Structure formats: C-alpha cells, structure tokens
Amino acid sequence: MSDDDKVIVPASTSECQIFPLGCCSSNYNTGDYDPDFVGGKATHKEITQVLHDIQRARRPAVRKRWVLEFLLALAYLIVTIGAVLVRYFLFGLDSIMGWLFMFVIIGICGVFINYGYERTLSEIVKESKDACYKMLDEQHMASFEAKGLRWFLPAHFLLWVELQKIEGDQNTGQSVYIPPNQHQHPNANDMNAQV
C-alpha cells in the first residue's frame, strides 16, 4: 500500500477550492466546483483548461510510475523464484531450514527493493511537480494572481490540486500567501515535502 492510498483528500473551503483526481478517469474532477468561490473572476472553462494542462504536464510522471510499478512486481517475482530455487538446491524440498532461509532472503531483498522504489517514486513526483509548476508559471499563474487566485500543488498533488484565494498586502501591494487548510505547508514552493 503506497502513501497515496492512505491520504484523505481535504474538502473545499471558502478560501480554497479542491479539485480531486477522479478515481476512474485519472483526470481532475471539477464536479465540486463552486462558481461563487471565484466570484466571477475566472470562468469554468479557464479552470478546466488549467486542470487539463496540469494533467498533460504530469502525464510523463504517470507513465514513469506505471513502469516503476511493473519493475517492482518483476523484481519481487525474480527474487521469489530465485529464493525458491536456492532453497531447493541447497536444502531440498522438506527442510524447515530451507523454508526459513527462503523467507529471510525474500524479506531482506524486499527491504532493498522497497527502498529503491520509494526513492525513485519520490524523484518522479518531484520531477512532475516541478514540470507542473513550470507550466503554471509560464502559462497561467500571472493571469490568475491578477484575479486574486493562486494555483497550489500540495505534497500529494497527484491526488488533488488547489485553487486558493490570495489577498494583497496593503503596505507593499504584493500578494500574500494565506494557508486555507491545516495541511498546507508554509512554503508553497517546498519541493522536499513527503510524497
């Protein structure tokens, strides 16, 4: 079970609109979109376009993840077959010691396989998040910030994307990040967040 299976997608609030990943379509769901949230500043079409662009920017990461999960299953299969063969040739079929040896080998190899999987997966997610933020910065961030809105990719952004309201600082005229939920990180650009 991966960390993504344990995460609960938060609900939208008056300061943050959540767009969860659909379970069947693998697209971000705009079904809970509240037009009153943006107050007429952005159309449903604009928001759908941004979500489509995020989906397109993260597509290479999704493909890499499928390949990684296939390699994970293949590695476990090879280790299991290897351990069974070693048990058979070293200890025979009826040896209790052979069974114990086989499970220890599978367990030790499993630790290293899982470590490699988690490390590679976090690199894939970081690459994907970087690509999505780059796309957002180049294409959409300025126009939405001018409307008082900001797109945010949380630590588990593969599961949801956030559109947040921002308020201008009266003294400097610059936008200020206002975290709407307790699950937010104080630095929206923190790329070292846990996967």
Count, in order, helices (H) and strands (E) of the chain: 4, 5
Q: Which residue has the tokens 């949801």?
A: 160
pLDDT (tens digit per residue) in 68-107: 999 999 999 999 999 888 888 888 877 888 888 888 989 9
**pLDDT > 50? residue 180:** no
Task: State the DSSP code for 10.
Answer: P
Give the pLDDT confidence score for residue 185 in this predicted structure. Answer: 38
Q: What is the DSSP letter of 28?
A: B
% of residues, the chain, pLDDT over 70: 82
Q: Taking 60 as the threshold, does the pLDDT of residue 24 lie above it?
A: yes
The pTM (predicted TM-score) of the whole model is 0.65
